[in-house]
Amino acid sequence: MRTQLSLAPLAGIETELLAVLAADTQTAKGSDAKALPVLLTTDAAVQAAAAAVLASGEFKAGANEFLLLHAPVGLKAKRLLIVGLGKQAKATVDKVRSAAGAAVRYTKPRAIRELALALPELDLLPVGPSSRAAVEGALVGDYDPDTYRSDRKDLSVQSFTLAVTASADKAAAEAGFNEGVIIADSQNFTRVLVNEPGNKLTPTIMGQRAAAMASEVGLDCEVHSTAKLKELKMGAFWSVSQGSEEPPALIVLRYEPKGVADGPVLGLVGKGITFDSGGISIKPGQDMEKMKYDMAGGAAMLGAMRAIALLKPKVRVICVVCAAENMPDGKAQKPGDLQTAMPFNAETPGKTIEIINTDAEGRLVLADGLTYARQLGATHLIDAATLTGACVVALGMANAGAFSNNDETFNKFNAALATSGEKFWRLPLGDEYAEMIKSDIGDIKNTGGRWGGASTAAEFLKVFADETPWIHLDIAGMAWVEDSRPYIAKGPSGIAVRSILEWVRSY
C-alpha cells in the first residue's frame, strides 16, 4: 500500500473514496434520546455534501457504522464514506485506529483501490497520535490471511492518503504518520509469520526469516541450533525439541544504538513453538491446526525488534526467541521425566524440572530463554507467549494477561498501553501459586494442575527471571482473531508488538 500525507482541502482531493469520521454528540440518556451525529471536520464542502443525510436520522455515528454517498456534490472524490466513532465524549485515539481499519476493510470487497481519510478535528484527538493511529489502522486493516489460495484475488487498497487540515501542526502530523507506517508494517510482519503453516515455517525457517529482517533493518543477528543448546546446557529448551525431526532454533537479535554505552539493557524473550501437538500429552484433534500460531510470542518479539531498529530509541535491547516443534515421536520426553534447565553461571546449578504434562512446553523453552537473556546482560525482562488456556478462561478474548515481579517495571508497561491501544490485564503471582508447582523429586513441576493455571505458569517463569525486573505476557486468547471484525481480518492479530515497543521506548 502506498501511503502519503496531504494538506490539501478535502473538496479538492481526487480519489475513489474519501472517508470522514463522525461522532454522536448526544449526551442525554434513555430510550427517547436520539443520536446527534456530527462530522469531525470543518471542511464546508464535506459538511454540505452530508448535511441532508445526517439530518435524516438514518446515520447515528455508532462505532464503525458506515454511510456511503455516491457522487457527493461539491467534492472531487467519487464517493464519500462516513465512519462512526461512537459517542464524541468518549472519542479516543484507539477508536481512530479502529475506524481507519474499518474504512479500509469496507473498501476492499468493493474493489475500491484508492482511499483518502480525513484526520478528525477534535480537541480530544491530538494530531500526532491520531495521525499515527490512523495509518496504523489502515495498514493493519488491509492485511488478509489468504496467502496460499490458488484463486486469490488481490483486493488490497493500493493507495492510502491521510488528509490533514492546513491549520494542523504539520510536523506533528508527519512524525506521527511516519511512525505509524513503521509500527503497522512491523505488526503485519509478525502477522505474516504467525499465519504461516507449520510446514512453511519450521524453527529453521523462522530463524532464516529473522536473520533476513535483521539484515534489512540493521540489527545484529545470530541463529543457533542443537549444538549451541547443548553447549549452553539448555536442558529445558532441548527437552521440547527432542521429539521432532525439525531441529530447534535459538534466535538472538541485538540492538545497540550509537552513543549508548550504559543504562538498562532490555531483554525481550519469545516463545517460538512453530507447531504444538502437545507431545506425548497429545492435544485433542479438534482445532489442533491452529497450533501453528503457538509461535506468536516469538513473532511479536521479532516484530517489535523490527520497529525498534527503525525508530531508534536510545536504549540497548537484546531479543531471544526459542523456536522448536513439540512432537510425540519415540525420542520425545515423557510425563514423569526430569529435565535440568540452563544454569545462570558455573556457581549456580540449573533448576531441575519434573515434567507433569508435555503440553506445558512453552514455559520450558522460555525458562532457558530468560536465563540466557540474563546471561547476555539483560537488566529488565519481558516475555510473550501463547502460554495457557487458563488465561483465556479467565479473561476471554477481550484482554491478554500480564504478570510482573516488579511494580515499577509493570507501571511503565501499563502506561504504554494508552499509546499502543492494546488490552492487557494484570493477574496475580504469589506464594500460594509457587507452592502448587513444587516437585517431590526435583525443584519444580512444569504444571501446577487445573486451578490458577495462568498464575502457576507465570510463577514457573518467575523462577528463571530470578531478581531481574520482569513482565510476562500471556497472549493465548488474543493472538488469533476468531471472527473478522470491522477493522481487522480473521486470523493473526500481531498482539503485543505495539505494547512491547512502547515499553522499550519508555526507557
438, 459 contact by CB (below 8 A):
no
Judge if 164 and 281 occupy the same domain: no
- Which residues participate in catalysis according to the annotation? 283, 363
In a domain, residue 206? The reply is: no
Residue 292 has phi, psi (to 5 degrees) of -65, -25
Q: What is the per-residue pLDDT for 496?
A: 98
At residue 279, what are phi and psi to the nearest 5 degrees? 75, -150
Residues 82-119: b if buried by 16+ CB within 10 A, e if exposed: bbbbbbbeebbbbbbbbbbbbbbbbbbeeebbbbbbbb
271 and 173 fall within a common domain: no
R_g of the chain computed on alpha carbons: 24
Query: Does 203 fall in a domain?
Result: no
Residue 411 has pLDDT above 80, yes or no: yes
Is 209 a member of any domain? no
Residues 231 and 379 grouped into a single domain: yes
Residue 251 lies in a domain: yes
Look up the CATH number of the domain holding residue 134: 3.40.220.10
Separation of alpha carbons 68 and 54, rounded Å? 12
| CATH code of 450's domain | 3.40.630.10
Confidence of residue 380 (pLDDT cuts 50, 70, 90): very high
Q: Do 153 and 239 belong together in one domain?
A: no
* Domain carrying residue 287: 219-505
Rounded to whole angstroms, the Cα distance separating 470 from 488 reads 31
| Same domain assignment for residues 312 and 361 | yes
pLDDT band for position 11 (cuts 50, 70, 90): very high
Q: Looking at the structure, do residues 172 and 266 belong to the same domain, yes or no?
A: no
Confidence of residue 415 (pLDDT cuts 50, 70, 90): very high
Question: Are residues 178 and 242 located together in one domain of the fold?
Answer: no
CA distance 428 to 426: 7
pLDDT per position as a tens digit, 341-366? 999 999 999 999 999 999 999 999 99
Q: What is the mean pLDDT of the chain?
A: 97
Do 164 and 270 have their domain in common? no
Asked if residue 226 lies in contact with residue 238, where contact means CB atoms within 8 angstroms, the answer is yes
What does the block give as the cell for 15?
480519489
Cα–Cα distance for residue pair 502/412, rounded to 1 Å:
9
The answer to whether residue 27 scores a pLDDT higher than 80 is: yes
Determine, yes or no, domain membership for 196.
Answer: no
Task: Report the number of distinct structural domains present in the chain.
Answer: 2
Mean per-residue pLDDT, 452-457? 98
Last residue of one domain, picked from the residues 140, 161, 186: 186
- What pLDDT does 357 receive? 98
- pLDDT given for residue 28 in this prediction: 87
Per-residue model confidence (pLDDT) at position 171: 97
Check whether residue 127 and residue 275 sit in a common domain: no
Single out the residue in 186, 204, 239 at which a domain terminates.
186
Question: Does residue 401 lie in a domain region?
Answer: yes
Residue 10 shares a structural domain with residue 92: yes
Q: What is the pLDDT of residues 290-326, one digit of tens each?
A: 999 999 999 999 999 999 999 999 999 999 999 999 9
pLDDT of 31 higher than 80: no
Domain shared by 104 and 227, yes or no: no
**C-alpha to C-alpha distance for 506 and 495, rounded to whole angstroms:** 19
The predicted pLDDT at position 30 comes to: 78
Task: Return the pLDDT at 132.
Answer: 98
pLDDT of residue 153: 85
Say if 260 falls within a structural domain: yes
Question: Which pLDDT tens digit goes with each residue over 122-138?
Answer: 999 999 999 999 999 99
Evaluate whether 402 touches 425 at the Cβ level (below 8 Å).
Answer: yes
pLDDT interval class at 155 (50, 70, 90):
confident
Predicted confidence band at 33 (pLDDT cuts at 50, 70, 90)?
Answer: confident
**Residue 126 is assigned to a structural domain of this protein:** yes
Side chain identity, residue 314: K
231 and 364 fall within a common domain:
yes
Q: Is 478 helix (H, G, I), strand (E, B) or coil?
A: coil
Given a cut of 80, whether residue 32 has pLDDT beyond it is no
Residue position matching grid coordinates 462530522:
39
